[in-house]
Structure 1
Amino acid sequence: MIDLGINRFCDVAVVGGGPAGLAAAVYLSRFLRSVLVFDVDDGRAKLIPRTNNCPGFPEGISGRDLLRRLREQATAYGTEVLSTDVESLSGRHGAFVLETAAGNVQASRVVLATGVVDRAPAISDLRKAIASGAVRLCPVCDAYEVQGQRIAIVGPDHSALREALYLRRYSPSVSIICNYPEDISAAIRSEARAAGIAVWDAVDDLVLREAGLDIVMAGGSKTERIGVLYAAMGCDVRSELAMDVGAHCDEEGYILIGPHAQTSVDGVYAIGDVAKALNQIAVGFGQAALAATHIHNSLMAEQARGGNS
């Protein structure tokens, strides 16, 4: 491999310090592997005001508290966390180079836990709205908590309808909102009507209130108060590093993985929301365990064959 000015070496580089990445680091450090985690502290888990479906926390836990606990656990076993972004990834066959502003790192294995960025509606004080629970991003995570509230969904019509149908089980008052009537097709309107889901056209503004949101229609002609707005607008997948090394991704950018969270590139793994799977913390934990164990075993096998570990 061409000398790229390597500053650091490690067994495993984990890119992303969210729940999945930190869980992988815990496992790998307990396997006595040298682990560097690259974390710029901008993951979606930070936005979680309280999750009640994360196993082991019957009273719920905030995203920030969960991340703090995981980081403390990982560093206690020897993981080093670097607050720098990875600008590019190159190499293969046990010699991967990660270029960063703090210097280049060579790793025998790489775990991509770079996550996704949710698309959200243009609301003033969006982070405050998410923190208060007025805007939510994942009904699988928290539909249980919004039972009986007035719920609205915003997003492309097929996505909005799918989410509305899911949420209809939890509330008798579920609506789809849009800016222009043409945003919702006649077929979607018909399906929504048959399921008891309203469609509110010509929404001009979304205003955060002390309890919920006001949906302001065109010209202020009408205002509806809701308890919760779900964004079904999709997300942007942070899979650029996977693409750097030619790992296979689907049409949305999610990294395709095998049974041990391996990508199509030997030695590169993907876990958490960036991988093609259900975007859940518990799933990320499971993928982390599978990836870390497979990595450790592969390095052991490599060492037995006389390679470097």
Structure 2
Amino acid sequence: MPAPSPEPATVDCAIIGAGPAGLTAAIYLARFHLTIRLFDCGSSRAAMIPRTHNHAGYPGGIPGTELLARMHDQAREFGATCEAATVTAIERDGDDFRVRTDHSVLRARTALLATGVVNHRPAGLDNAVHDDALRRGLLRYCPICDGYEVTDRRVGVIGTGDHGMREALFLRGYTADVTLIAPDSDHALDDECRAALDAGGIRRVDGPCGDYRIDGERFVVRTAEGELSFDSVYPALGSHIRSELAIAAGARASEDGCLEVDDHQRTSIPGLFAAGDVVKGLDQISHAMGEAGVAATTIRNTLAERRPIRR
């Protein structure tokens, strides 16, 4: 008769996601002398940042990969354990959780979801062209992060509707040369959107757009009006919120998939927390790190209520 499977190891907190939010939480929780397991599937959006210039404390900026590496080193310094794995399910187990990956099961007294979002890319954009353009600043995804870098430059925005209009108008605060390009066919803009774009002097070009390429220091886009070249192009195509694990476990979320949390980053499931871009709010590194600090402190206090923490 086969021996029964051993019970999985138990930690105080499982952190799913190793971007700025997850790593900040890991640092806090490790310094609270709690046992944690950080799961990293290797797809943090912060790793795509060629160099962030608005993260405080880094004059001259810092590449996203370097920032993540430094945060990993800092978490390990205090005993945090990181596992390269994709979490496939979070399941309630009494007061605790079972966290399943593609090759293991872990029991956790609490869990923090910090899985972030994935930007929608323009359809048909070759991966090699995308990555090279991103590295060179010819393709950008965050006007709040790097709008300053396109000051007085020629900028294209791929998008339409209210979302495309708002992103184009935001960038108009940096440059007078902004073109809004419809991704598929004609623009889907109501009268209010058209009036706002006209007032801002923003050019509108119908799609479909495609045949993306890099020409010297310009990013070239084929449109219904022919090829247009830009110093930088911003896709304004929305994003996918990676909240499926929590939603499958029963956590409440908004229509677009953002997890609902209270002022202490608690989801609707006791013991399950969320921080960073997976929660509705400002998709910024500094904001994600602040939420993670709040979540980690609440996790520590929640665990202390269940069983006093002593050294």
TM-score calculated relative to the size of structure 1? 0.93
| Pair 1:198-2:203 in alignment | yes
Give the fraction of aligned pairs with identical amino acids, expressed as a percent: 35
Change over 3 Å in CA distance of 1:129–1:296 after alignment to 2: same
Number of aligned residues: 303
CA distance in 2, matches of 1:95, 1:204: 49
**Alpha-carbon distance, 1:215 to partner:** 2.5
Contact 2:160 2:181 survives alignment (8 Å): no
Secondary structure, aligned partner of 1:65: helix
- Give 1:83's aligned residue: 84
CA 1:259/1:93 → structure 2, altered by over 3 Å: closer, same or farther? farther
1:4/1:48 CA distance change after superposition, 3 Å: farther
Instruction: Structure 2 unaligned segments of length 5 or more: list them.
Output: none
Using a 3 Å threshold, how does the CA distance of structure 1 residues 180 and 277 change in structure 2: closer, same or farther?
closer
- Note if contact 2:21-2:114 (Cα within 8 Å) is conserved in structure 1: yes
Q: Retained in 2: the 8 A contact 1:16–1:39?
A: yes
Which residue is 1:245 aligned to?
249
Change in CA separation of 1:204 and 1:123 when aligned onto 2, cut-off 3 Å: closer
Is the Cα contact below 8 Å between 2:42 and 2:84 reproduced in 1?
A: yes
1:59 maps to 2:63: no
The AA in structure 1 aligned to 2:61 is G
Select the residue among 211, 216, 220 that pairs with 2:217: 211
Amino acid at match of 2:41: V
Give yes or no for contact 1:189–1:199 (8 Å, CA) kept in 2: no
Q: Matches of residues 88-99 of structure 1 in structure 2 within 5 Å?
A: 88-91=89-92, 94-99=95-100
Q: Secondary structure at the match of 1:274?
A: coil
Matched residues in 2 for 1:96 and 1:308: separation? 23
- Please give the secondary structure, in 2, of the residue aligned with 1:256: coil
Following TM superposition, by how much is the alpha carbon of 1:222 offset from its aligned partner in structure 2, in angstroms?
Answer: 3.4
Q: CA deviation at 1:308?
A: 12
Give yes or no for the alignment of 1:123 onto 2:129: no
Q: Distance in 2 between matches of 1:262 and 1:5?
A: 31
Map 1:175-190 → 2, pairs under 5 A = 175-179=179-183, 182-185=186-189, 187=191, 188-190=193-195
Secondary structure of the residue aligned to 1:28 is helix
2:66 aligned partner, one-letter code = D
- Superposed, 1:1-309 pairs within 5 Å as 6-91=7-92, 94-121=95-122, 122-124=124-126, 125-179=129-183, 182-185=186-189, 187=191, 188-202=193-207, 203-218=209-224, 222-304=226-308
Separation in structure 2 between the aligned mates of residue 92 and residue 292 of structure 1, nearest angstrom: 21
Q: CA deviation at 1:194?
A: 2.2
**In 2, Cα distance between equivalents of 1:262 and 1:279:** 18
> Alpha carbons of 1:246 and 1:30: their partners in 2 closer, same or farther (altered >3 Å)?
same
Per-residue CA deviation, residues 244-278 of structure 1 (Å, 9 max, x unaligned), is 22111000001111111111111111011111111
* CA deviation profile, 1:154-211 (whole Å, cap 9, x unmatched): 1232111100111101001011012555333352333312220000124443222231
Distance change (3 Å), C-alpha of 1:33 and 1:172:
same
SS in 2 for 1:284: helix
Please tell me whether the aligned partners of residues 149 and 173 of structure 1 are also in contact (alpha carbons under 8 angstroms): yes
Of 242-251 and 22-31, more deviation after overlay is shown by 242-251
RMSD value over aligned CA atoms?
A: 2.0
CA distance in 2, matches of 1:179, 1:64: 30
Distance across 2 between alignment mates of 1:181 and 1:108:
51
Once structures 1 and 2 are overlaid, which stretch shifts more, 19-28 or 175-184? 175-184
Q: TM-score w.r.t. structure 2 length?
A: 0.92
Offset from partner CA, 1:105-149 (integer Å, 9 cap, x none): 000010000111100113222111111111111101110111011
2 CA distance for matches of 1:264 and 1:206?
43
Unaligned runs of 5+ in 1: none
